[in-house]
Amino acid sequence: MRYMDSREDEQIRGITMKTSAITLLYGPVLINLIDSPGHVDFSGEVSAALFLSDIALLVIDVVEGVCSQTEFLLRKAINLNLDTIVVFNKLDRLFVDLKQTTAEAFAHLRRLMEQVNSCISQIVSGTLMEEQDWQDVDTAEQVLYFSPEKDNVVFASALHGYGFSLSDFANIWSYKLSLPVTELKAKLFTDSYLSKGVIKADADRLGKKTLFEQLVLQPLWEVHKCALVDEAFDKLKVLAEKMGVKVKSKRVADAFDEFMRGWLPLSSACMRAVARSVSARDAFKRTNRLASLSLSKGHPMYEAVRSCSDDSFTVVYLAKVLQFGDRVIAMCRILSGHVAAGDELFAIDDKSSQDEEPLERQKVRVSNVYMLMGRERMAIKCAAAGAVCAIELCEGFLSSTLCSESLTVGLARPAQVCEPLVRVSVQSLGDSKDWQQLRDALKQLSVLDSTVRVIEQENGELAVLTAGEVHLQKCLTDLSDMGQTNIKVSEPIVSFLETVVPSPPGTATGTHETDCTIRGGMATLKLRAVPLPTQIVKLLERSEDALRNLREGVCDTVEVFELKKALLEEGVRWLKQMKGTWFSRRSDQQLRAALCKHPLRLVVAMYRCIVQTNGQALGKVHAVLSQRRAKVINEDMNQASGLFVVEAFMPIIESFSFCEQLRKRTSGLASGQLEFSHWEVLDEDPFWEPTTEDEVELYGVKGDSINRARSYMDALRKRKGLLTDELIVVNAEKQRNLKRNK
């Protein structure tokens, strides 16, 4: 049973799709544990969880090693200045599946540790170096590095319920070996060995077993061998009695889990590591944490959030909205003050105007305060500063900040991580009342999920934009749960962009110019579309502010032409319109003609696809990637896991059901992960046809090879009801034989 995964589709898929929280009591410490998804389609859920948290538990599969999503989560945690604890999960697979010896397993874990710390170095040098001096970079790396002796590393097997840190085995062996706990813990994960009660170095050079092999892995491997390989129940029971654990189960597998959970409980190992980290009261005293909410010294909430005091005015940050039946409840964190049922708070947006009157701001009333308990909730009287809880509000509103004072500006929401690129058209099959209910349900869905965008198009269709295929299926399930079952959903639609490329050498410049007559014949302008150089395109993609200013500068042109209408009625990219802004709506045709005088190209959205597989299925992986028109850019072997890692760029339009096909073709030996990478010009002329004798001889009269750009263009133009060159009747000169044989 996956307790934190309350959705039915989460239980079926075996993945987390929605952020959920539970409140745990570990001794005197109250811990809010937030479970967030790991799939790249749910990056918005991850961001919400990180902004509620002070400590991040980064779970890494010891067999698969560091994946792209691992790097993304680690980068987010470092940028938000969270205390990070790494949990190396599935430790049992090193012995049971990979058949590694203690020496091989220790070397594997050390390589994996180096790989994670290498990611930290890249993140620090690439991100923090822009804000800090060179001298501070080395210090920052040393603080962030994972090291088992610092108690920020947990070795675990969640399947069997056991986990430990170096402190656990240091305390076990310290008394038996008559060695100080601090000395033993400092040397336990190093290249040291034990000789006559003395710890010595250079175990690898001398061919000795290291302390970690001898004192940690050897006992664990013996227990695993006894239970999972030999299935010796009596021997396992004797080992459990020696460790002071009573085993009641009669089956070997259940007895093994019961023994390991009693000897090295995973919950205790993780909770001890969390309790030693930063507390909620001190978390926002760090500059980077305050900056993540756009808080500077001049901000009216700066001191209140920094002090995190119960006596200060109330500041509540809303991370996301949950739905329990008919009621909408906000998951939030109390940054300052306290919240109780009956309190009235001001809803303050992060873009509130300085000139707005305090009396005009929306006031909301808190009807209930809840402690989050996974799929359940528990009503409480009050929540104090630092707590993560849920509040039920009497009125709906669109704001990220609630405050007891009517301030001018609130807290900034996190930037959108995953751009929604997969779109479907949703239509109601009922009457006008059903259409209104569908609109209300989609509006509610966009509030519940920050990644979803809902657009009502000019033709009246309702378009839903999602982050990916898995995210789309989850949103459709949510609509069904809201009672929207009598609806029609189109096939997934992926957006394209259009651009022009430079004309072949020797083409006269005058042939690219188009005459544009100003209203009334006052003057005639020469209009020419010019492709932007690649360097400027990259600069604009890196600078959102510069791109926004350029868009504001050409707003008159955009308002008329909407930068569309050449190939697919899609957006135009990497193009500048020159010579004039005094266009009327009649200049639409001239703008279209200016584009068509250059070679036109499609710009497709690309996924960065990372596939992990073994050598046995590597050939089948390449076959699937080739079928999906993916371009392999790198192939390497992960030294820590021994698996091949294939990196490729794949058009999003070709990615649907990719992971399912990959698993079927490789019999489950390969797994893929997709995340948005960039926009890429498709270097194929959508209007190309064989013209010369050589081309006709090579490709045939109609072209035997598939023109991807042409197929994409025709499919989209058909969907939009635009004119295509497709012939309804093919080979009309061929006579049919209508004679019926009797």
pLDDT for residue 672: 84
The whole-angstrom separation of Cα 17 and Cα 56 is 18
User: ∠411-415-418 over CA atoms, to 5°?
Assistant: 150
pLDDT for residue 737: 59
Residue the block writes with tokens 């104090």? 384
- Domain annotation covers residue 410: no
pLDDT for residue 420: 78
pLDDT for residue 3: 54
Same domain for 440 and 508, yes or no, is no
Q: Which among 550, 580, 598 is the end of a domain?
A: 598
Closest to 662 (Cα-Cα) out of 489, 469, 418, 473: 469
Phi and psi dihedrals of 443, rounded to 5?
Answer: -65, -40
Q: Which among 250, 275, 300 is the end of a domain?
A: 275
Same domain for 339 and 481, yes or no, is no
Same domain for 287 and 429, yes or no, is no
Q: Are strands 153-157 and 162-164 parallel, antiparallel or unpaired?
A: antiparallel
* CA distance readout (Å), 86 to 53, 104, 145, 630: 15, 21, 10, 33
Same domain for 255 and 162, yes or no, is yes
Whichever domain contains 433, its CATH number is 3.30.70.870
Same domain for 235 and 134, yes or no, is yes
The separation between the first and the last C-alpha atoms of the chain, rounded to the nearest angstrom, is 67
User: ∠34-260-165 over CA atoms, to 5°?
Assistant: 60
- Domain annotation covers residue 736: no
The whole-angstrom separation of Cα 117 and Cα 332 is 32
- Domain annotation covers residue 189: yes
- Domain annotation covers residue 298: yes
Closest to 495 (Cα-Cα) out of 648, 417, 603: 603
Same domain for 541 and 592, yes or no, is yes
pLDDT for residue 68: 75
Same domain for 551 and 579, yes or no, is yes
Whichever domain contains 337, its CATH number is 2.40.30.10
Whichever domain contains 649, its CATH number is 3.30.70.240
pLDDT for residue 705: 65
C-alpha dihedral, 458 to 459 to 461 to 465, nearest 10°: -40
pTM of the model: 0.73
pLDDT for residue 560: 35
Same domain for 294 and 157, yes or no, is no
Q: How high is the mean pLDDT in each 10-residue block of the chain (742 residues)?
A: 57 66 87 78 72 90 84 84 92 91 93 91 71 63 87 93 94 90 92 88 89 94 91 90 88 92 93 89 79 77 87 86 66 90 82 45 84 84 90 72 82 63 86 85 75 80 84 82 82 84 65 67 74 76 64 46 49 48 55 76 88 88 92 84 86 88 86 84 82 73 70 82 72 61 53
Domain that holds residue 575: 502-598
Q: Which among 348, 368, 403 is the end of a domain?
A: 403
pLDDT for residue 17: 62
Same domain for 354 and 432, yes or no, is no
- Domain annotation covers residue 46: no
Same domain for 173 and 75, yes or no, is yes
pLDDT for residue 556: 44
- Domain annotation covers residue 21: no
pLDDT for residue 643: 80
Same domain for 521 and 668, yes or no, is no
pLDDT for residue 297: 80
Side-chain half-sphere of 377: how many Cα atoms within 13 Å? 21
Please give the helix or strand (H or E) that residue 203 lies within, else none: helix 203-206
Same domain for 399 and 454, yes or no, is no
Closest to 68 (Cα-Cα) out of 680, 674, 601, 729: 674
- If one counts the domains in the chain, the total is 5
The whole-angstrom separation of Cα 485 and Cα 476 is 10
